[in-house]
Structure 1
Amino acid sequence: ILRTANGYIFRQVVRFRTTDSSLILERSINRVQLLGRVGQDPVMRQVEGRNPVTIFSLATNEMWRSGEGEMSSTGDVSQKTTWHRVSVFKPGLRDVAYQYVRKGSRILVEGKLDYGEYVDKNQVRRQATTIIADNIVFLSDNMRDRT
């Protein structure tokens, strides 16, 4: 699979020439896949003059063994949970996410990473990392129970 993916990527690298022959634009990849559980029911927000966005959090877990038994079944098991902010702008997907994504649902989110800044209520400038979703796969029974 990796060989096929790499071949696809290399075939997709495209160079565009502009009037300035020294400037070459190359295609790049910003792709993320997250498999986890939803932290809270989604909210839909609309900033004046912009399209609405559905926002929710997604938790992913990393587990590992530590201590003497790293290679065996003994040793302490540790877990780290990472929370991700997911934003859905795509009109059809945005509405489906708002209607069917629920706290505790197990989902797969595909999209891209986005970095930005905002000013909080105390006028402090903060940085935010967001996953801009372009596909959601429902893995829980929650979706089937609601249709």
Structure 2
Amino acid sequence: MASVNKVILIGHLGKDPEVRHLEGGNSVANFTMATNEYYKDKQGNRVERTEWHTVAAWRGLAELAEKYLRKGQQVYVEGRIRTRQYQDKDNQTRYVTEIIAEEISLLSNRPATDSAQPVVAAETPTTFRQEPELDQLPF
């Protein structure tokens, strides 16, 4: 049986994307995203719980993220979850779980935290998709 690795998030950007240009011409944009859930505790008080997600967008999607995404904007991100490991400076194994974005849609044009940021023009596309690499195609 086949397996599925699919993540869908709607939340607000915690920071502007940080873009790195790698050898070979590839780019990667990293940003954080907050999602909130609300519930009532035993005393009936409304409690908000925020979950932070690390998102990575590659190649053309990274360039579009750098150009259009700003801290505070509400976005829809669709992708897959990936956990990777690395050795820190003390030679300890560390793990990072991140969302590899395959689609990003702008749900709000104006950043929620800074009205001095530019507003995305009405003619700006609001959904961006990562084209699959040839080795990612299922056939």
Could you tell me the TM-score, scaled by structure 1's length?
Answer: 0.70
Picking from 100, 104, 110, the partner of 1:136 is: 104
* Other structure's SS at 2:76 match: strand
Structure 2 residue aligned with 1:145? 119
Question: What residue ranges of structure 2 are gaps of 5+ in the alignment?
Answer: 112-117, 122-139
Q: Could you tell me how far 1:141 is from its partner in structure 2?
A: 2.0
Structure 1 residue ranges, 4+ long, deviating more than 6 angstroms after superposition: none
* Other structure's SS at 1:128 match: strand
Question: What residue ranges of structure 1 are gaps of 5+ in the alignment?
Answer: 1-25, 69-74
Structure with the bigger percentage of helix: 1
Structure 1 pair 121–140 and aligned structure 2 pair: CA distance change class (3 A):
farther
Specify the code of the residue in structure 1 equivalent to 2:102.
Answer: D
Q: Could you tell me how far 1:80 is from its partner in structure 2?
A: 1.1
Q: Could you tell me how far 1:121 is from its partner in structure 2?
A: 3.8
Structure 1 pair 126–49 and aligned structure 2 pair: CA distance change class (3 A):
farther
RMSD of aligned Cα (Å): 2.0
Instruction: Note if 1:86 corresponds to 2:55.
Output: yes
Q: Is the 8 A contact 2:18 2:66 kept in 1?
A: yes
| Cα distance between partner residues in 2 of 1:81 and 1:101 | 20
Specify the code of the residue in structure 1 equivalent to 2:98.
Answer: T
Picking from 38, 43, 46, the partner of 2:18 is: 43
Structure 2 residue aligned with 1:55? 30
Could you tell me the TM-score, scaled by structure 2's length?
Answer: 0.74
Structure 1 residue aligned with 2:9? 34
| Cα distance between partner residues in 1 of 2:22 and 2:64 | 20
| Cα distance between partner residues in 2 of 1:121 and 1:48 | 23
| Cα distance between partner residues in 1 of 2:110 and 2:92 | 38
